Structure 1
Amino acid sequence: MGLTAVGLGSGLDINNIVKVLVDAEKAPKEASFNLREANVQSEISAIGSLKSALTTFQDSLEKLKDPDEFAKKTVSRNQTEYLSATADKDAVNGSYNVTVEQLAENQKIGSAGVSDVTAGIGTGKMSLDVNGESFSVDIEASDSMQDIMRKINDSEDNVGITATIVTDDTGSRLVMSSDKTGTENTITATATGDQAILDTFGATTELQPAKDAIVYIDGLKVTSADNTVDGAIQGVSLDLRKADLNETTKITIEDNTSDVKENIEAFVEAYNEMMTTVDSLGAYDAETKAAGPLQGDSLPRSIQSQMRGALGQLFDTSDGGKSLSMFGVSTDRYGKLQVDSDKLDDALKNQAIEVGELFSAEDTGLAFKLDGIVESYVQSGGIFEGRDDSLQGQLDRIKDDRLQLATRMTAYENRLYKQFNAMDLAVSQLNAQSADLQSRFDSLPGFTSKK
């Protein structure tokens, strides 16, 4: 900016004149920048909404791509106190009566008692064996029962024994427990060394015997080393909780159609929400004369075309293939999906394999086809990322244009001040000359100025 006190010679408000001229030059260009930026930001927001809708839809396809989801089983029990059960896809529908006679337990053995768990016991070695695997700990003269306990628990070679100290009325004992249940996981302890070591650890006492779990399945006896019984019933895992020969738990294995139905309904809902978003972003409302941010853009039309094309193949039964509508999923007159609940229930009950193949057949199933379409848009380096990069480039160019405009306007403002200051100086000089001439005329004899 030029002089701060301008217009003194001419009496003009030069500051305001320059401001008006600069604003008149700058305002249309700034308005253009603002409009361009608003349009780009609107498009960025629209692309974000579109990406979110497609990602949500893609999430709904994940379970439909997994054939195991269509073969899931559900397990029901007439009581829950004695066992729980799960079934995988290999389980056969049916019911089974299960009685738990005995739970599996781990073995516990104890040493002789000592009066002071912090005092050294003697010198020697203790060897411990579980189911044919063994390890040993060296006992030094200064090692107390607490030290020996820590050596057992911290041993890198420990084969599955946990040691602790239990104090009863006769003294403190080192109690060693097998980490695994079952009769095959019994502990054998052998001590060597001086007499104190032999007296304390040479002859251990069994505090709790190892036991196998015993259950009866429809009257057939099954023995298990632990309380999880796998494979006794094909595809079924039993987790035993409590034993009672007088109580029988009836478990029933059935097809889990409810989860599959929920997955299909979630897919339909996500598809419709996605297509509604696509429609709204590219639509034009004739009544309000309002256009969507992507109206006229090929992107929404491309998504609609590909989605409807993939679905259309599964509504065409001209080649004798399976149709979605055969299983209770159809399209309405607006191109949205709808579910016939009763028809879908019947299909999942009687044609679960066919429904599963329609969705989850690798590469050719509907879920895979739709996922591939969506992935081409949302993946790293995909269509959306390319569009985002392009839009960000436009914002960067608008920012550069604003900086260039600011530079030009500063130069323009300085030029105007220079011109107006020169004019102001010239007017000031002319006024001074005029005043001098007037003074000279006034001083001439016989000259009378007329005012």
Structure 2
Amino acid sequence: MVTRISGFSSGLDIDELVKKMMSTQKAPLNKLNQQKTVIEWQREQYRTLNSKLVDFRNNKLSTFGLSNSIGAKQATITGNSSAVTATASSSAVNGSMSINVTSLATAANAKSTAGIGNVSMTDSIESLIASGKLDSSILVGDKVTIDVAGATPIELNKSDTLGTLMSRLNNSKEANVNAYIDSYTGTLVLTSKTTGKTAGVDNVVPPLNVSGAIFGAGGFKLGATQDGANAVLSINGIATERSSNTFTENGVTITLNAASLGTASNIVVSTNTDKIMDTIKSFISEYNSLIEGLNNKLSEERYRKYTPLSTEQKDAMKDDEIKLWEEKAKSGLLRNDTTLSGIVSDMRLASVTSVDINGNKVNLSSFGITTGDWTQRGKLVIADDSKLRAAIEADPDAVIKFFTQQTTESDPKKKGSATNPDNGLFNRLSNIVMTGLERLATKAGTSKYSTDVTSTFLANSTMGEQLRTIDKKIDSATLRLNMIETRYYKQFTAMEKAMNRYNAQSSIFS
């Protein structure tokens, strides 16, 4: 280790002199650090855009493509609108149904023949036995056991409360009962969660699944189980029964709420034009937002005079000055980027290319949607709202297929083509974005599946390798600079020692 002597003899500020001499030597290292910073900034910007691409593909497009979004149906009830409610799925058949409800489905149940008296949910089983409201015969050792048909019994400690008993019964999927205790009379009611006729009638729905001493003479004294009953109704004049008050008919989920009392409920199923239009408008909004974000980066101004600041430069500037400088330095780093411009170009091409539907060529202009003028830079515009509505009402299947149709092409290149005539627009865009994500992953090491803008970059990528190479060069340059700085200090130290000897000799002669 070299002992550094500051200018005691010479009176020179050696540290400042070495610093100035090293500033020239540091130029190559500063350039390497600037290159590294620029690549890191570029990679961060890629990751931000990558997150938006993943979100558009995995969240937005997948949601828009759901049948209940782009293929929405609606069920409208006229007549007796209180006896029946209905919800149409995307597979519902357009048409009408007339429903008359004679009686609702009921569930099997059993209740106490006599209550045990006033109770609280905080009362323990042990305290109820001590007070004589329950008999100790319900215990097996220190536990209460409730048998559940075809499943593991429910066991409770005698220290457990009535609240625990109710919770264990009601939360048991296998027990399949709703338990209720009237706190004033201590009357227990068990009701099956499944409505309809019980076993022994049509062998479809089982009776109450629970049994045990706590329900017997020493406990809550449950009486005989009352069978459930099927709902009795007619659909378009055809008499029928259902074990549940909620069932599906022709793609429509129907819930029976009350007897019709002579007035039928008429369910009309039709295409939900408003919902489909809302889905298309939402898609266009998200598409335009993504296109705009990509275009802004591709056309962002590049300020080449604003290079990344060195540590010394930052030390000489205020925080606001550093912020403004770096905003300029970061601008335009992805200008005219080939990967991003390829994504935009393919997305725009996919949106203007027709889709073959049942032998007919259908495109967005068929629905009153255009790409606007040149200033829109590929954004989609609903030029004629009424034309879109008319297209949906005239042939909703064609509109749905334009967006969601899937190609049967097996060739990966043709299948993923932006102009594949058999692929709907959503699938084309999904393929384009995935291709772009794969290219970004290869180039920048971004994730193809995560929207997290803080996620770790993949180790193997072009930019990752560039950074590793630069880091090695930085290490070598830093080692070289340390050696040069040490040499300078050695030289100044030798000079100081020589001057010190000269001064000592001069003192002797004087």
Q: Which residue pairs with 1:23 in the alignment?
A: 23
The answer to whether the 8 A contact 2:101-2:232 is kept is yes
Larger Rg: 1
More deviation, 388-397/422-431: 388-397
Q: Which residue pairs with 2:109 in the alignment?
A: 108
Q: Which residue pairs with 1:229 in the alignment?
A: 247
C-alpha distance in 2, partners of 1:343/1:157?
A: 52
Q: Which residue pairs with 2:354 in the alignment?
A: 314
* 1:360 equivalenced with 2:404 (yes/no): yes
Q: Which residue pairs with 2:380 in the alignment?
A: 337
1:376, CA displacement in angstroms? 1.9
Q: What letter corresponds to residue 437 of structure 2 in structure 1?
A: V
Higher strand share: 1
- Deviation per CA, 1:145-170, whole angstroms, max 9, x where unpaired? x9xx99x979x99786777777998x
Q: Which residue pairs with 1:75 in the alignment?
A: 75
Q: 1:170-181 maps to which residues of 2 (within 5 A)?
A: 177-181=191-195
C-alpha distance in 2, partners of 1:284/1:330?
A: 26
The answer to whether the 8 A contact 1:315-1:324 is kept is no
C-alpha distance in 1, partners of 2:356/2:176?
A: 62
Q: Secondary structure at the match of 2:501?
A: helix
- Deviation per CA, 1:212-237, whole angstroms, max 9, x where unpaired? 22334455543222211333xx2222
More deviation, 156-165/17-26: 156-165
1:302, CA displacement in angstroms? 1.6
The answer to whether the 8 A contact 2:73-2:90 is kept is yes
The TM-score normalised by the length of structure 1 is 0.72
Structure 2, unpaired ranges of 5+? 117-131, 139-148, 154-161, 209-215, 306-327, 408-422, 447-456
The answer to whether the 8 A contact 2:350-2:425 is kept is yes
Q: What letter corresponds to residue 233 of structure 2 in structure 1?
A: V
The answer to whether the 8 A contact 1:183-1:210 is kept is yes
- Deviation per CA, 1:80-133, whole angstroms, max 9, x where unpaired? 6433211223433334443433221123345765975632669xxxxxxxxxx9
TM-aligned CA distance change 1:68 to 1:383, over 3 Å: farther
1:276, CA displacement in angstroms? 1.8
C-alpha distance in 2, partners of 1:54/1:276?
A: 12
1:13, CA displacement in angstroms? 2.8
Q: Which residue pairs with 1:14 in the alignment?
A: 14
Q: What letter corresponds to residue 359 of structure 1 in structure 2?
A: F
TM-aligned CA distance change 1:182 to 1:409, over 3 Å: same
C-alpha distance in 1, partners of 2:302/2:480?
A: 42
Q: Secondary structure at the match of 2:483?
A: helix
Q: Which residue pairs with 2:159 in the alignment?
A: none
Q: Secondary structure at the match of 1:242?
A: coil
Q: What letter corresponds to residue 372 of structure 1 in structure 2?
A: N
TM-aligned CA distance change 1:430 to 1:370, over 3 Å: same
The answer to whether the 8 A contact 1:213-1:227 is kept is yes
C-alpha distance in 2, partners of 1:424/1:166?
A: 101
> Once superposed, what is the RMSD of the aligned Cα atoms?
4.5
Q: Percent identity?
A: 26
1:419, CA displacement in angstroms? 1.0
The answer to whether the 8 A contact 1:56-1:270 is kept is no
Q: Secondary structure at the match of 2:12?
A: coil
Q: What letter corresponds to residue 295 of structure 1 in structure 2?
A: R
C-alpha distance in 1, partners of 2:297/2:207?
A: 75
1:350, CA displacement in angstroms? 0.7
1:346, CA displacement in angstroms? 0.9
Structure 1, unpaired ranges of 5+? 123-132, 138-145, 190-196, 440-451
* 1:413 equivalenced with 2:485 (yes/no): yes
TM-aligned CA distance change 1:268 to 1:418, over 3 Å: same
1:46, CA displacement in angstroms? 2.3
Q: What letter corresponds to residue 244 of structure 2 in structure 1?
A: D
1:345, CA displacement in angstroms? 0.8
